[in-house]
Amino acid sequence: MSSLVQRILTTVIAVPALFSLIFFLPHYGFLALALLAMLTAGLATMELKALYFKAEGARINFPSWMAALLPFAQWLEIAYLPQLPLLELTLVVMALTIYTTELSSGPKDGYDKTFSRIGGASLLLIYPGLLLTFIMRLTALPLASAFLLLFFLLVFGNDVFAFLFGMSLGKNNKGIIKVSPNKSIAGFVGGTLSTIALALAFCLFYPGVKALVSIPQALLLGLLTSVSANIGDLIESAFKRAAKAKDSGNLIPGRGGLLDSIDSLLASAPVYWLMLALF
135-153 pLDDT per residue, tens: 999 999 999 999 999 999 9
Q: Which amino acid is at 257?
A: G
Question: Would you say 216 and 199 are in contact if contact means Cβ atoms under 8 Å apart?
Answer: no
What is the per-residue pLDDT across 2-61, written as a single tens digit (0 to 9) for each? 555 556 666 677 778 888 888 888 888 899 999 999 999 999 999 999 999 898 887 888
pLDDT in tens, 150-198: 999 999 999 888 888 888 876 777 777 788 877 888 888 889 999 999 9
Going by pLDDT thresholds of 50, 70 and 90, the confidence category of residue 247 is: confident
Find out whether 194 and 164 touch, Cβ atoms under 8 Å.
Answer: no
Q: Which DSSP category does 83 fall into?
A: T
- Exposure string over 130-165, b if 16+ CB within 10 A, otherwise e: bbbbbbbbbbbbebbbbbbbbbebbbbbbbbbbbbb
Per-residue pLDDT of 14-25, as tens digits, reads: 778 888 888 888
CA–CA separation, 217 vs 220, rounded Å?
5
Contact call for residues 195 and 268 (beta carbons, < 8 A)? no
Q: Number of folded domains in the chain?
A: 1
Residues spanned by the domain of 272: 3-278
**pLDDT score for 5:** 58
Distances (CA, A) of 84 to 28, 73, 77, 140: 18, 10, 7, 15
pLDDT at 15: 77
Number of helices followed by number of strands (H, E) in the chain: 11, 0
Residue 218 contacts residue 224 (beta carbons within 8 Å): no
CA dist 196 → 45, 199, 203, 219, 237 (Å): 31, 5, 11, 6, 24
Give the per-residue pLDDT at 231: 93
The pLDDT assigned to 268 comes to 96
| Residue at 70: amino acid letter | L
**CA pair distance 155, 158, nearest whole angstrom:** 5
Q: What pTM value is reported for the model?
A: 0.90
